[in-house]
């Protein structure tokens, strides 16, 4: 096994939802495809008392739910041989004693904390006090890291007291999606786009993360964070950074992350005036989604709440490349469709040589990057309509598509779970797709400014019907800038 590769993975919260839905299936598929190192062991731990056989059966059921083609007996037998389980209280050194025999021969352990971020500091301290950390140990942290800048600093400081920054892997699973990574290739592997990727040719950018599901049983968590802290602070700002960052000198971790931090530091701070004109808060009420009746957030929660389940923002990046180009962000629960999308709207041609109907048909180019449910990159270009016409020619918009679904849909093709890429990178010690501490804190600084401006302006969450695209104010926000949402 190469010196850079982890030799054991310990999943804290191994019986929880994240481990069962995402982490264990991802590790299984990596093993099937031959990406896991020979001899790598996977140990799950949680407080629940359970023997190894019971956990292996639990893992088998979890993997079965994600394996569209079913399990191959040989593949499962090989993967199951890697698995083990130990009941432990990860917040106390004495509670971790059950892990010691399993880690006795490990030289490069990898700890994955699929736990509440409020426990990160205590778990790291307990691991160190129990003697389970060495100079090669890696630790993986799930978002959100804190609820604001102050709590984020506290958590990062507690983790940093045990682990050096190069051994801390902060996961944002959006960065593991194929189309997100393809955005880097699109921008920096093609000479076509870079000369156009600026305020001279781009009119505006839209980033949409829409979900049809409600909060449901997750309301205790959601009531504390809301859409701003849950979605904008991490997923949406990561997408914004990849669109807006300058070309890095290479793909080394710090080269990429340095450029992302520069974008975050260039975001124009929100004031009380911006809160009213450049942001909208919403909370879903009863409505219809996908033909089915949906309850409102407060009904699910059982009592009134000021928490926002929808946010729309105008973000401005104050640097030479993006001065004057608005970035419109929107995210929400109980919207009409599930969609994660980046739309790059180019400016209109400076002068149209076409007259008559052709002039009316002429529309500006648009680059649309779909992340889910389908992975696609589509560039809309103007084309002459086929056939004869009296007088001026007719034009029509035509899409050029780089659909991953169509391009890689042969026999055996499978859409990978985003966590597969990220887990593989941690195993191999590659940190490019992970978030650095100063990056997290720069994002929180901007988000805290928005939350503070909301408080100063007394901006309440406006109700919107489940199944709609949010409050009317979201449409007014973009229309004030002379644009419209791309739907």
- Predicted confidence (pLDDT) per residue in 334-391, tens digit: 999 999 999 999 998 887 777 666 556 678 889 999 988 888 888 888 787 777 666 6
Q: Would you say 429 and 4 are in contact if contact means Cβ atoms under 8 Å apart?
A: yes
* pLDDT surpasses 70 at 195: yes
Taking only the tens place, the pLDDT of each residue in 411-432 is: 455 678 889 999 999 999 999 9
Taking only the tens place, the pLDDT of each residue in 160-177 is: 999 999 999 999 988 888
Taking only the tens place, the pLDDT of each residue in 99-155 is: 999 998 889 999 999 998 889 999 999 999 999 999 999 999 998 899 999 999 999
- Which residues share a beta bridge with 433? none
* pLDDT surpasses 70 at 410: no
Taking only the tens place, the pLDDT of each residue in 32-51 is: 999 999 999 999 999 999 99
Confidence class of residue 72 from pLDDT cuts 50, 70 and 90?
A: confident
Q: So what's the pLDDT on residue 406?
A: 62
The C-alpha angle 204, 447, 304, rounded to 5 degrees, equals: 110
* Mean pLDDT over the full length of the chain: 90
Q: So what's the pLDDT on residue 412?
A: 53
- Look up residue 112 and give its two tokens: 């994955």
Q: So what's the pLDDT on residue 376?
A: 84
Confidence class of residue 2 from pLDDT cuts 50, 70 and 90?
A: low
Q: Would you say 75 and 42 are in contact if contact means Cβ atoms under 8 Å apart?
A: no
Q: How many angstroms separate the CA atoms of 258 and 279, rounded? A: 28
Confidence class of residue 244 from pLDDT cuts 50, 70 and 90?
A: very high
Q: Which residue has the tokens 């026999």?
A: 411
Q: So what's the pLDDT on residue 388?
A: 66
Taking only the tens place, the pLDDT of each residue in 270-317 is: 988 889 899 999 999 999 998 899 999 999 888 899 999 999 999 999
Percent of the chain with pLDDT over 70: 94
Active site amino acids:
235
């Amino acid at each position: 096994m190469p010196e850079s590769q982890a030799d054991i993975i310990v999943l804290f919260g191994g019986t929880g939802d994240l481990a069962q839905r995402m982490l264990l299936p991802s590790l299984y598929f990596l093993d099937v495809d031959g990406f896991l190192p020979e001899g790598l062991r996977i140990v799950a731990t949680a407080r629940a008392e359970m023997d190894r056989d019971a956990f292996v059966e639990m893992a088998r059921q979890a993997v079965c739910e994600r394996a569209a083609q079913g399990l191959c007996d040989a593949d499962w037998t090989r993967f199951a041989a890697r698995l083990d389980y130990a009941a432990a209280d990860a917040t106390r050194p004495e509670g971790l004693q059950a892990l010691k025999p399993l880690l006795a021969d490990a030289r490069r352990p990898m700890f994955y904390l699929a736990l509440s971020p409020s426990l990160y500091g205590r778990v790291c301290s307990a691991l160190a006090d129990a003697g389970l950390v060495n100079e090669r140990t890696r630790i993986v942290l799930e978002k959100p890291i804190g609820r604001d800048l102050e709590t984020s600093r506290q958590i990062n400081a507690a983790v940093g007291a045990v682990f050096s920054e190069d051994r801390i892997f902060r996961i944002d699973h959006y960065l593991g999606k194929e189309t997100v990574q393809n955005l880097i290739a699109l921008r920096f592997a093609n000479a076509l786009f870079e000369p156009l990727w600026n305020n001279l040719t781009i009119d505006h950018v839209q980033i949409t993360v829409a979900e049809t599901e409600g909060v449901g049983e997750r309301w205790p968590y959601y009531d504390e964070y809301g859409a701003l802290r849950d979605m904008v602070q991490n997923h949406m700002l990561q997408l914004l950074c990849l669109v807006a960052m300058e070309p890095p000198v290479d793909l080394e971790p710090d080269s990429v992350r340095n450029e992302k931090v520069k974008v975050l530091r260039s975001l124009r701070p929100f004031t009380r005036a911006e809160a009213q004109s450049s942001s909208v808060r919403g909370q879903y009420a009863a409505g219809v989604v996908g033909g089915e009746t949906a309850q409102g957030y407060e009904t699910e929660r059982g009592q009134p709440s000021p928490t926002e389940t929808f946010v729309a923002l105008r973000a401005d990046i104050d640097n030479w490349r993006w001065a004057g180009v608005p970035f419109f962000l929107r995210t929400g629960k109980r919207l009409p469709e599930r969609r994660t999308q980046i739309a790059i709207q180019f400016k209109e041609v400076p002068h149209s040589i076409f007259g008559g109907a052709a002039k009316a048909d002429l529309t500006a180019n648009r680059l649309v990057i779909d992340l889910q449910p389908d992975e696609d990159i589509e560039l809309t270009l103007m084309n002459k309509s086929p056939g004869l016409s009296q007088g001026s020619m007719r034009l029509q918009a035509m899409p050029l598509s780089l659909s991953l679904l169509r391009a890689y849909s042969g026999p055996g093709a499978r859409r990978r779970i985003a966590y597969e890429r990220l887990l593989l990178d941690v195993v191999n010690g590659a940190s490019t797709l992970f978030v650095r501490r100063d990056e997290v804190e720069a994002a929180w600084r901007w988000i805290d400014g928005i939350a503070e401006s909301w408080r100063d302006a007394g901006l309440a969450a406006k109700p919107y019907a489940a199944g709609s695209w949010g409050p009317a104010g979201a449409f007014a926000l973009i229309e004030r800038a002379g644009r419209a949402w791309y739907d």
